[in-house]
Amino acid sequence: MRYVLTPAEAAELDRASQERGIVAGGLMEAAGREVADAALRLLGGAYGRRAVVVCGKGNNGGDGLVAARHLDRAGVRTTVMLLEEGPGEPARANLERLEVTTVRRRPFSPTAIGRELER
């Protein structure tokens, strides 16, 4: 059985990590890479696969942006759908990093996600 942190526990862990010199961007990079690795296992590899990553503007959305970049790098055709424009730092930096990838960016709407999932 795996233990899942509550939001308060996760926030405390982030705070304690940053007090020990681990920057928020490093935490985001590690979390996003783990999400991408888990997705690749679920997909059974990258060949011929597609992924739609829905991201908010907070740090969890930043984790999703990192995951999208790693999925793209692995060869998964990846689309990011943003719930809101204007993510905060360090998520914004990861949104900018997508500009040099083949990740498609689309605004989120129920209709748009339906179209993306049917592609």
pLDDT at 15 over 80: yes
What integer pLDDT is reported at residue 101 of this predicted model?
95
Q: Which amino acid is at 18?
A: Q
Residue 25: name the closest of 62, 56, 73, 74 by CA. 62
Residue 70: name the closest of 25, 99, 103, 93 by CA. 103
pLDDT at 63 over 80: yes
H or E, element range at 41: helix 24-43
pLDDT top residue among 105 and 86:
105
H or E, element range at 78: strand 77-82
pTM of the full structure: 0.85
Phi, psi of 24 (to 5 degrees): -60, -40
**Is-contact 66 94, C-beta < 8 A?**
yes
Which residues sit opposite 50 in a β-bridge? Answer: 77
Indicate the fold that domain 22-118 takes in CATH.
Answer: Rossmann fold (3.40.50)
